[in-house]
A = this chain, B = another copy of it.
Amino acid sequence: MNETAEVVGSLLTIGDELLLGDIPNGNAHHIAFQLRCRGFRLDRMLTVGDREEEIVPILLECLERSHFIIVTGGLGPTDDDRTCEAVARAFDRPMTTNVGYSEWLRKHLAEYGIDWSEEAARMARLPEGAVKLGLEMAGFLLEHRRVPCYFLPGVPHEMRKLLTQTVIPDLEERFPRRSVYVKHVLRVQGIYEPEINTRLRNCRFDLLGVEVGYLPQLNENWITLFAAAESEEEARNRIRQAEEIVVSCIGPEHISGCNDEALEVVVGRMLLAKGWRLALAESCTGGLIAERITTVAGASGYFDRGFVTYSNEAKTELLDVPVEMLEAHGAVSEPVAAAMAEGARRRAGVDVAVAVTGIAGPSGGSEEKPVGTVFIGCATPRTTVVEKHLFSGSRDHIRESAAQAALVLLWRVLSHDTELLSD
């Protein structure tokens, strides 16, 4: 760590559902990551239940030690939402009706033909001095003893919206001088963690002021590079140098992208650059690959259609897989994967098609083809390739592994083709 001013906050997530393990604390993860990306750090994350006597002392403690406080949860209209009352007590600010918000809410509900209710009135009551954040959702800012305290709803998409649109811009205005953190993730395909560690072992990233970490993901590995500096330029400069070292040690052919460039983003860009259109034929992944491909905005520029051929009839009718082939080899087989890919390519009239057929389990396996057996085919104008995999774990894990492997195969085929065509 270096010497520039660090702006450090506390995060308090409120909800019995977190303490009881009903749901993971996705909000905490999201907030920590977004803050760090903008040069703010958390030094504590705390979770308590929906009880005033738990919330009050923690709010006071955070107030003592933090440049800012973010609180999520417990702001809803129901009786088990206790955050507002806890804030009123902790900061000794009585609850008052926020006139502007109350008026807006009245009008808004009337538009939808909803009567004014006790719950609505409760939504409009906030601790004295609170500034409403957003309108169509719960959330407010309260500055107390010069510490900005942001109270956000626990509903993830509402929290995310307020965080991005209101909280972070406000923090940036309040704390213009702060350390800049830059984190850079390199996504590695086809090398496992110990091997990555071995290849990078003797690199002196510390001399560059860059921290290196390893995060294994689902069938890909992430190498994370982290730098803190006085300016973004300085931090990025250090990261750039470290990245060059990593790429040369790992080999560029193993690095599919960086940061949020998931494989579906990378292959989308490659398809667009080649002017190729894609079709998919999925059996055991059941639409998962199509779903990932179409997550990317603008996918219609290169994705034509997907066939989720769960039944054998669908494989034959939609992809021309011969009935005899299905009978001779079974639906989960190398020739069927090839026939599915070729059939999808031909029927959709596209340049490239990927097909997956496998046994996701938990039942349906045999000695010859155990659960986790997956064949992946990829057909291009030039050739058709088929890979066999054996994945382990739950049904979900096998499906996700198969989808990831299918995208890796597509990425390899497209990289290979590009190499041969260009330069």
Contact = CB atoms under 8 A, between A and B. Distances in A.
A157 interface: yes
B29 A41 contact: no
A393 B157 contact: yes
Contact of A30 (B21, B45, B50): B21
A249 interface: no
A216 B157 CA distance: 11
B305 A306 contact: no
A48 to B, nearest CB: 6
B54 A44 contact: yes
Interface string A193-217: 1100110010000000001111110
Interface residues of A, number: 99
B311 A300 contact: yes
Given A46-B44, A297-B363, A307 B310 contact: no
Nearest to A349: B313
Nearest to A42: B19
A34 interface: yes
A311 B318 contact: no
Contacts of A46: 44-47
Contacts of A311: 300, 304-305
B24 A26 contact: yes
A408 interface: no
Contact of A36 (B20, B306, B310): B20
B287 A288 contact: yes
A261 interface: no
A417 interface: no
A294 interface: yes
Interface stretch (A168-176, A230-238, A394-402): A394-402
A22 B48 CA distance: 22
A420 interface: no
Contact of A288 (B17, B157, B291): B291
Nearest to A400: B157
A194 B120 contact: yes
Contacts of A18: 32, 45
Interface stretch (A76-84, A268-276, A373-381): A76-84
A109 to B, nearest CB: 10
A406 B50 CA distance: 34
B25 A28 contact: yes
Interface string A284-323: 1111111101110111100111111111011000100000
A148 interface: no
Contacts of A201: 79
B280 A224 contact: no
11 contacts: A17-B213, A20-B226, A21-B33, A22-B213, A25-B28, A76-B216, A78-B194, A78-B214, A80-B213, A157-B394, A288-B291
Q: Which 3 A-B pairs have the closest CB atoms?
A: A286-B294, A21-B33, A287-B290
